[in-house]
A and B are shown apart, each in its own frame.
Chain A
Amino acid sequence: MGAPARDVLAVELVGAGPPPERRLARHAGRHVLIVPALAVLIVFFVLPYLNLTLISLMTPSHQAPYARVLTLGNYATLLRDPFTWRVIWHTLWIGVATTAICLVISYPLAYHLARAPRRLRGLLMILVISPLLVGVLIRTYGWMILLQDTGLINQTLRALHLPAAPLMYNDTGVLIGLVHVFVPFMVLSIAGTIQTIDPELEFAARSLGAGAWRTFRRVVFPLSLPGVLAGTVLVWVLTISSYVIPSLLGGFTVLTVPILVVRTVTELFNWPGGSAFAILFFVITLAVVGLYVRAMGHAGRLPDQGDDR
């Protein structure tokens, strides 16, 4: 590697590069990357939701999906109807029950997952994620086989000469199905935070005389609250907006807002009424989530969640 070769290479390579104006153009060129995604989101996501809001202010009509006359009547009708409120209340309640059960079930799973040795963790992750990737419909079908009156569980009960239990076409069936579908979301949320908690903290707590339960209650749980918050919000929102499970496991006996909205739009062809119901529900959901997040924050135990980078 003599000196001459060095010079040859240097001459080929060294230079000032493209002139500044071209570099500026390339700089602007980067932003082309975002254009397709932004276009899809604005045209097929933001605009449709704006449109939905607009339609909720139109007058229902028998000749067309709606008449172009602005009104607040759809909302007035909804708000006056006790049936609306019953369905909303029931939906929110199913959401809370599902979320609570999910939390209780998911926490041990998440803790176990986050603290498992690396190898085992890979396997456990597969077990947690797999149900997530099997369509909701398929999983619901599995539950139908298990829960129906002639299903496996009731067969077993009968074989044991126990009374059969009505597990499907009621709230019980819906709750079982919902919990099963949303547990993985909760586990992933919580495990993510637990993994960031230094295990040494637990050793420290134990060395200071705290038992397993107190270590959990005073150290692990408070530190995992961000994950709990994220998980509960996610699961609650997903639960109250799910359609398949309440329809199939609830039969026609369990009514939730999504079922009613779809029915209003596709069977009654009352687009403005359905839109108004959708928007109303949306607003209530946002309000509940907002209050919940604030309450959790005010409990003063939530560390600031900055940018995760």
Chain B
Amino acid sequence: MIRPRERRWMAVAVAVLYVFLLAPIAIVVLAALNSGAYLRFPPEGLSLRWFVAFAESRSFTSSLRFSLKLAALATAASTVVGTMASVWIVRFSGRWRNAFRVLFVAPLAVPGILTGIALLIFFYAVGWGNTGFVGLVIGHTLICTPYVFLITSAGLLRFDRTLEEAARNLGAGALRTFWRITLPLIKGGIISGAVFAFVASYDEFNISLLLSGVGMTPLPIQLFDYLRFSFDPTAAVAGTISIGMAFVVVLVTQKLVGLDALYLGGG
């Protein structure tokens, strides 16, 4: 319990922290819209020239396209695999539930950079040294599946199973119950999971750093190479696109399952 005067102090502290959280993101958007090559105060003026530069930069546009393609494939694969797994875990895993849950979330818990190295060496060892694009899709699917799994499971756990019993009681078989009752009600969780997976893949760096070959440069890798040597705001445009996408995802998730599903705590 917090009393009014304490609450005011709390509000100030919290506001400062939110500014800290959001500042660098706002800065990127500002940099993209700023007309000068360096951001300074006061800003030199608004301009879309860096958006034009981005659109005209072959390396950026082709990485953007590549990233979208990669994310689409990884999302499709991980949504199917992750949803099936979450249904199984929530409904049929019995006493193995916890063990499997840990296993399925493990790719998020171990360092991504090590997973990248392990995959790189593994592909070579089994003779798939130049798997290229397929290897990237596999790596991304591995990272995206836990997100789908976590979010879909949250939806399934919240699903009231007496609804299925009611449907069975009214004469629907197991399959029909799934299509008519269960699926429409957990659809939100699956869509959110897929959206999350898409963004996770679009932003994935570690796996891509180790597995992307010549001519296959996802946007994060392109940005990384770029930022090591240059600060010009073309990169900020890529950032702004990604930020816009993130907000869409957050809004969709909030609407469909509620962001509470993402609490990580041991409560």
* Direct interface between A and B, CB < 8 A: yes
Interface residues of A (CB under 8 A from B): 13, 26, 30-31, 33-34, 36-38, 40-41, 44-45, 47-49, 51-52, 55, 65, 105, 108-109, 111-112, 115, 122, 125-131, 133-146, 148, 150-152, 155-156, 180, 183-185, 188-193, 195-196, 199, 202-203, 205-206, 212, 215, 226-227, 229-231, 234, 237, 240-241, 243-244, 247-248, 258, 261-262, 265-266, 271, 274-275, 278, 282, 305, 307-309
- Assuming the contacts A188-B263, A188-B264, asked whether A146 and B142 have C-beta atoms less than 8 A apart, the reply is no
A109-B17, A126-B251 known; A37 and B246 CB under 8 Å? no
B21 on interface, CB distance cutoff 8 Å: yes
Closest to B34 in A: A145
Q: Which residue of A lies closest to B91 (CB)?
A: A30
* A residues near B47, Cβ cutoff 8 Å: none
A155 and B91 alpha carbons, distance in the complex (Å)? 58
A131: chain B residues at CB < 8 Å are 21-22, 25
A77 to B203, CA, bound (A): 36
Contact with A along B13-54 (1 / 0, CB 8 A): 110011011111111100100000011110000000000000
Q: Within the assembled complex, what's the spacing in Å between the Cα atoms of A141 and B24?
A: 8
On whether the beta carbons of B113 and A125 are closer than 8 Å, the reply is: no
A126:B265 contact, CB within 8 angstroms: no
Chain B residues whose C-beta falls within 8 Å of the C-beta of A192 in the assembled complex: 263-267
B14/A51 in contact, CB under 8 A: no
Out of A134, A195, A258, A274, which one reaches B243, CB within 8 Å?
A134
Given the known A-B contacts A136-B205, A146-B24, are A261 and B10 also in contact in the complex, defined by CB atoms under 8 Å?
A: no
6 interchain pairs, CB-CB under 8 A: A33-B87, A36-B85, A45-B106, A227-B265, A240-B111, A248-B227
Report yes or no: A243 in contact with B250, Cβ–Cβ below 8 A. no
In contact, B264 and A138 (Cβ under 8 angstroms): no
Q: Check B27–A44 contact: CB distance below 8 A.
A: no
Contact, CB under 8 Å: A44 / B138: yes
Contact A193 B41 (CB under 8 A): no
Chain A residues contacting B183 (CB-CB under 8 Å) are none
7 tightest A-B contacts by CB?
A142-B24, A192-B265, A241-B111, A192-B263, A135-B203, A133-B246, A227-B265
Distance between Cα atoms of A247 and B138 in the complex (Å): 26
Q: Per-residue 0/1 for B233-267: is the Cβ within 8 Å of any A Cβ (1 yes, 0 no)?
A: 00110110011011101110110001110111111
B65 at the interface (CB under 8 A from A): no
Residues of B within 8 A of A128 (CB): 21
Q: Which of B38, B80, B122, B171 contacts A36 (CB 8 A)?
A: B80
Chain B interface, number of residues (Cβ within 8 angstroms) = 102
* Cα distance A206–B262 in the bound complex, in angstroms: 31
Beyond A136-B203, A148-B231, whether A142 also contacts B27 by CB under 8 A is: yes
Whether A48 touches B28, Cβ cut-off 8 Å, given contacts A142-B23, A192-B264, A215-B1, is: no
**Residues in chain A near residue B21, CB distance under 8 A:** 127-128, 131, 180, 183-184
Residue of B nearest to A152 (CB): B39
Contact of A33 among B28, B84, B142, B149 (CB under 8 A): B84
**Chain B, residue nearest A186 (CB):** B264
Within 8 Å by CB of A105, from B2, B17, B80, lies: B17
Shortest beta-carbon distance, B31 to chain A, in Å?
A: 6
- Chain B nearest CB from A292 CB (Å) reads 14
Q: Is B163 an interface residue (CB 8 A)?
A: no
Complex contact B18–A127 (CB within 8 A) = yes
Docked-complex contact B121 and A152, CB < 8 angstroms: no
A186 to chain B, nearest CB (A): 9
